[in-house]
Structure 1
């Protein structure tokens, strides 16, 4: 990945300000220099003109005075020449008198006798004319500043060593704040999965005599024992695909998308299990993503384990992650789908899957009274009254979350997205 130079936009503003000040100071300096040059030029021209007018002015030879004045007006710095009599009446005007340039008035004398006076007026100094006259220099200045900005953007980029150091510092900081998990946690998760596999096998053997459960439900259902009466939960993640887009997508595209979804789900489970709020809860993905979604099973090790809370948090966390992936994929015009999540007892997993076809609420939670009292600490729940599943439990939808739950979910989401690819 190519990184930009630090504060490159700020440096661009600095370069732009430097260019503007450079051009402004140049124009002001050039304007001042031209004003001094014009003042010197009209003073010298007025002195010479006064000497030349000593012959035609007494004779009132206006033609000669006009010819002499025209010669001075043809100079670049002079815009107007005027010849006045002793009563200060203009008798010979040459050029344009309306400009706002500097002017000099010199008397015409012969001996002790005053014959009149001459006025020489300079051309107006315009900043537009300065820019037009020095356009090559100004264009070079613009090009020089642009090259300076480009050089900074390339030379000030962080080196490979700096990038590695920054990444290491950021990772250590995230580990200190608990946003990322240490690699040792993955070893603990693998051990937890092995324990869950043993528990899964034990529960399956105990439930073989239950004639009312389906084959897929037998795999998820947990048996009650003499000391632990709380049922296990499953979280089902289902694609929201009303237009049946999955059937039209290429097989390779689906495999890549399913793989990405499965990786995020596994990371979500790992990060959630590290939260102190769900100590004593174990979870694992028992069915990876396919056309029908994915399934996560959650088990409690003792009576204090908040399995319902863990299932509820996982259902919301998966939706938050999916929203981000969906937006990123749509921005890059890649295939993506929204998901629904369903939380229930393992026995009613198939029933709840069917309920999602008639209800758009997500997540949907099937909770008994004990589980409801546990979950309502972190969220406001509302019962879905138009649906029954033939059990004492009630279906709920989430109305709102507490600020603590929202912060916890955002922290878990960021941890999943910032975790190592490995």
Structure 2
């Protein structure tokens, strides 16, 4: 264990990456199923699912279960892994495409084919809302794509986005579980939503929930989501079924809190006091950054509410409302980090990292970025201009501070660590 008095000699990038890597390792599905396997059925075992982590989840379940086994999952392009029995299909995220629609139809048909002696295992992780796409009657794929694009630009929080997605879907909101009835359904979830509500992760395809039409219509009005008249009529007709199946068990195998706890332990192993500010932080990314910068300034100036050296850890899912002049390169984590950089620029003892645990922040190839105020930091001269046009990716790329991991095969949402030395 590293003595605290040597903390000033630590390499900031190494510390921050070790914290992020610990968080990622804790979120992987490997060896998570062994202690929570269901009883073997008299009939078939059918594995169905969707999400950025679903292929890795399927392989981990195969390793724990053995044979016989069959099934199909859909994951994001580039996120497939080799499996032995479960078919893996790749599709688009965050805007759904024909490949996702075709795979979802096949998944629903497999669920409908399950009998009372069969076991249906549902694997859900972040990204399932886009990947598991089957529009309700009266809604086209083009309608779903248009609504999704508007939601992504609106700054709506994930709960609101998934409520809308659920209302226009023929598979979300528990409809997959109802399709599998009377088979027993066991759902395993890697949570990417603040609060870890199973009905919200991936819009809850195996969690039967009723739709609140008034709430959904209020969300559409609040975030100015324009839908055609035929979609509005379909929304009214497509209220989620209220009947619940009593043959469904849910297990949460990875959550943001689990990853933050792992990062905290890693920090303490390096001799750094660690504080978890929260695992469900939401809000506009740049506003969250300003609030956290205030905590950092208090630590530096007054040794309160914590004394340095320390690291502030947090998770959740911030949002970015794109401005009219937006370039739109980057995601919520790089936007947060650039706003934090601007707020803390005078303080040389600060370093920070902000990444999406799925390995992709926004639409670029990076998981996020990091910064410190060392002598070799040479970012562009006008960082505020980059923030104004939602172009944090370009700023951190020029500064050579991007974090690039490739697909991580998990997703517990945002990871942020602010190191104060």
TM (norm. structure 2) is 0.19
Greater RCO, 1 or 2 (C-alpha within 8 Å, sep 6+): 2
TM (norm. structure 1) is 0.19
